[in-house]
Amino acid sequence: MTEVRVTHIGGPTTLVEFAGWRVLTDPTFDPPGRTYQFGWGTSSRKLTGPSIAPADLGPIDAVLLTHDHHGDNLDDAGRVLLSGVGTVLTTVPGARRLGGNATGLAPWATTRLVLDGRPTIEVTATPCRHGPPLSRPIVGDVIGFALSWSGQRHGLFWVSGDTVLYGGVRQVAQRLDIGTALVHLGGVRFPLTGPLRYSMTGREAVELCQAIQAHTVIPVHYEGWQHFQQPHAKLARELDAAPDDVRRSVRWLPVGVASDITV
């Protein structure tokens, strides 16, 4: 049996530790209060700061960066952190923008993370669509990550990335055996675009959970910013009303506290 220690630092940012590996997702470490521009007239103010400062993180072996062009997934302090990391995996356009230690992956491409004395991690990039149909030229490319290593009992460790529920995400359930899922939620909307949503709602999360049938589902990236329309309380109501198998799989992590997850 393998255990992974997951610390939800805030927003999409988590520290994932296992078998000597220390992997960080979507580094966001700026203090609250600033308004960030997301393009095409959309913006959002950061309401909550990180629970752990970058100086207190310790060494990071790799960063899984779902996308680099939105401040709620990579902010200024997060960019500074990237330079001290061995490997950054992100989208193909994102790797071109970042340069240096960044490697770009297209959906369904694979790569390996290798360090002496640690199990090799096979990483598969998974599809995302960060908005309604035909929005990709506006919102940009996003990917998720499915991680496989020896000793996993329940299936792969998956980071969904910022996405709505659509055919590409449903392919994950069809093609991969997911054991643990970090699912980006929040039901993002902007006043400028009215009812259009840019990330999953609680109802979509229930449908996704039924499809992937993961052993453990960990909601992340659902509050701490002005543009989230479904913070914890709203999401919890919808997930608590889900069928028993879904409800049992959902695990809310206390922010800033390391939690052990059986994978």
Confidence at residue 2, expressed as pLDDT on a 0 to 100 scale = 80
Confidence at residue 253, expressed as pLDDT on a 0 to 100 scale = 97
Q: Is the pLDDT of residue 178 over 70?
A: yes
Cα–Cα distance list, 134 to 33, 106, 129, 188, 244 (Å): 32, 18, 9, 17, 35
Q: Is the pLDDT of residue 1 over 80?
A: no
Burial of 58: CB neighbours in 10 Å, binned 0-12, 13-18, 19+: exposed
**Rounded distance, CA 157 to CA 263, Å?**
8
**Rounded distance, CA 42 to CA 127, Å?**
23
In this structure, is the dihedral angle defined by the CA atoms of residues 234, 237, 240 and 243, taken in order, positive or negative? negative
Of 118, 28, 33, whose CA–CA distance to 74 is shortest?
A: 28
Q: Is the pLDDT of residue 96 over 70?
A: yes
Asked if 143 and 105 touch (Cβ cutoff 8 Å), the reply is yes
What is the dihedral angle through the alpha carbons of 167, 161, 189, 97, rounded to the nearest 10 degrees?
Answer: -110
Q: Residue 70: which residues within 8 A CB-CB, separation 6 or more? A: 36, 38, 140, 162
Structure tokens at 129: 């669509």
For 98, the enclosing helix (H) or strand (E) is helix 92-98
Burial of 8: CB neighbours in 10 Å, binned 0-12, 13-18, 19+: buried
Where does the pLDDT of residue 66 fall: very low under 50, low under 70, confident under 90, or very high at 90 and above?
A: very high
Cα angle 118, 263, 175; round to 5: 95
Average pLDDT, the chain: 96
Domain spans of the chain, in order of start:
3-262
What percent of the chain is predicted at pLDDT more than 90? 96
- CATH of 3-262, picked from 1.25.40.10, 3.60.15.10, 1.10.579.10, 3.30.1330.40, is 3.60.15.10
Confidence at residue 39, expressed as pLDDT on a 0 to 100 scale = 85
**Rounded distance, CA 223 to CA 36, Å?**
15
